[in-house]
Structure 1
Amino acid sequence: MIELLRDLNVGLNEAPTEQAMAQLSALTNIPNHHIDRLGQIWGAQTLRTLLDIAETKLELNIRLLAGSLADYGRAVRYWWRNVETEIPFDDYSERPTYFVSSNTHTLANLLSGYALAREAELVKFMADNDLRELQDLYQITLGAQGAGRENLLYYILKKFEQQYPDQIEERIQHERQQGIYRIAVRHTFDIEVQLIALNQLASDTFDGRLLLPQIDHLKRSDALIINIDYPLGMAANLILEEIVYNLQEIRGIFSIGKAATLNGRIGDVMIPSVIHDEHSLNTYLFDNCFVAEEVVPYLQDGSVMDNQKAITVLGTFLQNEDYMSVFYEEGYTDMEMEGGPFLSTIYEMVRPKRHPHNEVVDLHNAPFLVGFLHYASDTPFSKGNNLGSRSLSFSGMDSSYAVAIATLRKIIASEV
């Protein structure tokens, strides 16, 4: 391996050729697309970096964020105090709140109208940068009903801001004018928070797929949306617990995001009504407020499967075929990393005691909306596609926006 890398590593400041990458793939038994991803990350330093790895003895030390549950609790409290100092409303704790766990771009894009307002500029950006495939897709969306023009503009906006990062601040200021506040992370958990004031939103700038009858009544609502950026594992339990301790009224808890599917395809949407949690070993039964009909109209490709059984796993690289087959034979088809801990917190919100362990738990009586929507980003039964290993790129826009639209429509319908 070292000799091959030395032979290939002639031009230290040049990106490796396709032939060199193919040789590396064959020698290391690493699939071509994974080798190509390393090339995208390291660029001209790919071969030099691989040679350094092969030649250098390395010892890794892992430093835990905290050493005990009490330490984790203090870290979460410290994180939330930072968030509180940035919240622009003195009465936030008294206002009804919808909690959402998702990414940090879909809700803001759908509600702010920023990308749609800059459509002409984004179209020019595609032409100036010769993004022909995206240009062809854009022309298709102009001539077809419901063909994802908005989703494409959101995707182009991301590329635009990657090339012109100075434009990001303009978008953030536009969002603030629309009642969407981003709270950056300063300490402990790397989890961004968005606070959305429903009565400050301008419905005339919404993505058209959000327009419900009497949407103008949203101005009368004093409700907030707290959107956090995917806390995984027990962080989900601790963070939701800290948030609900500081709020008087929760009207809904929603978790929308990526998952692995054991029986579907990339881009499918799964709606679970049972989640087995490997942290508490509990199996939670609950009334998922979403049904397939609320997602289907906004999904161009893929299928929507409701009444699914999900499992919250401990980590992204702990699954193998034998392990997953056990759950698949029991009817579990949806693997993710935060549903179980969220449900453990929900249990403590509706019962006067801590969540149990290794029990079947019925949460059908929750007095607020509980919603889980997962879109398939991985097929771990396929070789090399473990949970979390895949980047969906534009192919993931369809399902990620479909579940975000369904979630926002659910919230809006509850408030108008």
Structure 2
Amino acid sequence: MFACSGASMERTVPTTASEEIELYIRTIYSLLRSTAEVQIRTLEETHAGTNSSLHPEARSLKLDTSAFIYSALRLPDCLPQVHSIILGQSASVFAQHGYENIEAWQEVSARARRRRCFFNRKDTLACFIASGSDIEDILPAVTAYQIEWNKLHLLLQRVPAALLESACQNADSQARQSVCELLGVSSDDFERLRMVFAPDFTAALREIASRRCHFGLRLLDGSLIEYWRATRAWMENILRACPHLTERPVYFVSSNTHAIPNLITGFAFRVQEELIAYLEKEGDPALLEEWERIRSGQFADGRGNFLYYLLKKYQATPQGRKLIEAQLAAERDCGITRIRSTHSFDVDAQVIDLARVKPQWLDPRLATDDSLYLLASNALILNIDYPLGLAAYNILSKVAEAAGDVLGVYIMGKAASLNGVRGDVMIPNVVQDEHSRNSYLFQNAFSAADVTPFLQYGTVLDNQKAVTVRGTFLQNARIMDIFYREGYTDLEMEAGPYLSAVYEMYRPKRHPVNEIVNLYGVPFDMGILHYASDTPMSKGKNLGAGTLSYLGMDSTYATSIAILRRVFQQERRRVSA
């Protein structure tokens, strides 16, 4: 809450200091100073003592299925074979510590977290990290995984092998009910575990039953300078692909790597007949019903989102793979250059030349009566796959240093909502950053009116107050209650670091600490949009233990459309001037 009285301003910030969580963070970094491998069991007691909202049953003998699933989805699937985890900022850091040619190992990935990881096919996992936020994300997830693995290991000793085999193979069997009772889990939770550990759930449970889990972890270099070097290498990789980025005006967008290219190329509309033929052949009842509603005019504006979703599913099939190259060719025709991260953290980028955008191909929700101004534009969009936490500060700082004039900064990302439902869109104008402890006040370029026309299933909540948290596991019920009491209902991980970088883009000094920071004088356009992927106050399944699936695209595309319309609007004014 902010109150003005004359020239003074007071604030009530969400004081989130928790002795348990502060102890956890201090313990993590004190252990990682060691040059030897740290045993994750050393963290288990401190982890359980935080009473994390993501891991409420950490101390209990009861299996916390949601915490196990959450951590498993954010770690590579090879983890059951891993004994040692090593963290480093770049290939050169790994090489300096004896891990030569790490990128020749098997590349592996998590299903719900982007991070470049390599597995030696034996017992060691190497992960590239972009900032301290990765450490505060990886270690709690690994610790939760180990705690729950070992609980399940003990519980499985009660289950005869034949009974377990039968339960895994037959969803409706008496055997499954008996196994669920022995494990102390519901049938729904057992099914969720089966989906996570597919395709061979039986083999996965046998592996868990056969041994306890003991991870060791080592941070090769925790220096700030190595994070900066990794970010510089990331930026140099982009400049090699698009050297003109240094000379042209730039709109910086942090979103994802699929929505904006889909909207600009409109490729799915041009292959609609093939996509619908695939849908009808596949016969997914829910998607067929949705298509009938769209075709009948009930949700006519949802046609694009539906086709984009269907395109992704179709391209994952053998017969649909031919459309991947066709889509990439369409992107190149529209001036879109994709740049894959190499030798450092996983944040892919796209550079879009606005003068080469084809107005006739644009998604109908972007089309205007006058698109000729784009032909006269010399501006670029630099769209990056949104980073995690403090990496956002490093990246935007480096972009501002290397690129031409920055005309706009637009941030789109996931958040947890304390007052909304999944699929809602939150538009903040206050951000409390737990990294810098600053309260940032700014004029958001977006309002509800910019997003509402393109959102079918959710609500747009503008004039919100956001908190940039340090980590997903580093929150508990007491902290959530403090946030809510102070009116902070939008919990996310990137806005604060981005705003710290924005401050340094037009002020002559480093961003302050623990102050009210007024960003109303920013000399370029700036907007932040968050879509709710989690609702921690709902007491349902915990954060991120599920997926948004098709309906989740609604808010993703609504926010992406708002960003592109804003860029086009700003560029029309600039070109006209």
With the shorter chain as reference, the TM-score category is over 0.9
Alignment equivalent of 2:312, drawn from 158, 161, 176: 158
CA contact (8 A) 1:287 1:363 kept: yes
CA contact (8 A) 2:163 2:179 kept: no
Instruction: Please list the CA deviations of residues 265-314 of structure 1 after superposition, one character each: whole Å capped at 9, or x if unmatched.
Output: 11111100000111111110011010111111111121111100000111
What does 1:14-413 align with in structure 2 at a 5 Å threshold?
A: 15=169, 17-19=171-173, 27-28=182-183, 34-64=189-219, 66-87=221-242, 90-144=243-297, 146-164=300-318, 165-383=321-539, 385-413=541-569
2:71 maps to none
Q: Secondary structure at the match of 2:473?
A: coil
Instruction: Please list the CA deviations of residues 123-155 of structure 1 after superposition, one character each: whole Å capped at 9, or x if unmatched.
Output: 011012112321221121112153401110001
Specify the code of the residue in structure 2 equivalent to 1:140: R
Q: Separation in 1 of the partners of 2:246 and 2:533? A: 35
CA contact (8 A) 2:433 2:497 kept: yes
Q: Secondary structure at the match of 1:195?
A: strand
CA contact (8 A) 2:435 2:470 kept: yes
Instruction: Please list the CA deviations of residues 355-407 of structure 1 after superposition, one character each: whole Å capped at 9, or x if unmatched.
Output: 11111111010011110011111001233544443311101111111111111
Give the number of aligned pairs: 413
Q: Separation in 1 of the partners of 2:192 and 2:343? A: 31
Shifted more, 350-359 versus 142-151: the winner is 142-151
CA contact (8 A) 1:15 1:45 kept: no
Q: Separation in 2 of the partners of 1:21 and 1:99? A: 52
Note closer, same or farther for the CA distance 1:24–1:255 as it changes in structure 2 (3 Å cut). farther
How much does 1:169 deviate?
A: 2.6
Q: Separation in 2 of the partners of 1:76 and 1:305? A: 34
Q: Separation in 2 of the partners of 1:66 and 1:114? A: 44
Specify the code of the residue in structure 2 equivalent to 1:47: T
Note closer, same or farther for the CA distance 1:325–1:192 as it changes in structure 2 (3 Å cut). same
How much does 1:344 deviate?
A: 0.4
Note closer, same or farther for the CA distance 1:179–1:42 as it changes in structure 2 (3 Å cut). same
Q: Separation in 2 of the partners of 1:228 and 1:372? A: 15
CA contact (8 A) 2:466 2:488 kept: yes
Shifted more, 349-358 versus 136-145: the winner is 136-145
How much does 1:44 deviate?
A: 4.0
How much does 1:31 deviate?
A: 5.9
Instruction: Please list the CA deviations of residues 223-267 of structure 1 after superposition, one character each: whole Å capped at 9, or x if unmatched.
Output: 111111110111111111111110120011111121110001111
Note closer, same or farther for the CA distance 1:171–1:348 as it changes in structure 2 (3 Å cut). same
Q: Secondary structure at the match of 1:10?
A: helix
How much does 1:321 deviate?
A: 1.6
Q: Secondary structure at the match of 2:428?
A: strand
How much does 1:413 deviate?
A: 0.7
Shifted more, 117-126 versus 186-195: the winner is 186-195
How much does 1:23 deviate?
A: 5.3
Note closer, same or farther for the CA distance 1:289–1:385 as it changes in structure 2 (3 Å cut). farther
Cα RMSD for the two superposed structures: 2.0
Taking structure 2 as the reference length, the TM-score comes to 0.68
CA contact (8 A) 2:353 2:379 kept: yes
2:19 maps to none
Aligned structure 1 segments of 4 or more residues deviating by more than 6 angstroms: none
How much does 1:184 deviate?
A: 1.2
How much does 1:182 deviate?
A: 1.1
CA contact (8 A) 1:5 1:51 kept: no
Q: Secondary structure at the match of 2:505?
A: helix
2:102 maps to none
CA contact (8 A) 1:278 1:311 kept: yes
Q: Separation in 1 of the partners of 2:185 and 2:404? A: 52
CA contact (8 A) 1:16 1:47 kept: no
Note closer, same or farther for the CA distance 1:300–1:350 as it changes in structure 2 (3 Å cut). same
Note closer, same or farther for the CA distance 1:66–1:388 as it changes in structure 2 (3 Å cut). farther
Specify the code of the residue in structure 1 equivalent to 2:473: F
Note closer, same or farther for the CA distance 1:284–1:208 as it changes in structure 2 (3 Å cut). same
Q: Separation in 1 of the partners of 2:457 and 2:500? A: 33
Q: Secondary structure at the match of 2:300?
A: coil
Q: Separation in 2 of the partners of 1:18 and 1:81? A: 56
Instruction: Please list the CA deviations of residues 299-334 of structure 1 after superposition, one character each: whole Å capped at 9, or x if unmatched.
Output: 112111110000011112222221111111000000
Specify the code of the residue in structure 1 equivalent to 2:245: Y
CA contact (8 A) 1:95 1:224 kept: yes
Q: Secondary structure at the match of 2:416?
A: strand
Q: Separation in 1 of the partners of 2:182 and 2:248? A: 60
CA contact (8 A) 1:233 1:341 kept: yes
Note closer, same or farther for the CA distance 1:106–1:68 as it changes in structure 2 (3 Å cut). same
Taking structure 1 as the reference length, the TM-score comes to 0.94
Specify the code of the residue in structure 1 equivalent to 2:313: K
How much does 1:22 deviate?
A: 5.5
Instruction: Please list the CA deviations of residues 90-143 of structure 1 after superposition, one character each: whole Å capped at 9, or x if unmatched.
Output: 422111101111111110111111111100000011012112321221121112
Q: Separation in 2 of the partners of 1:385 and 1:359? A: 36
Shifted more, 3-12 versus 311-320: the winner is 3-12
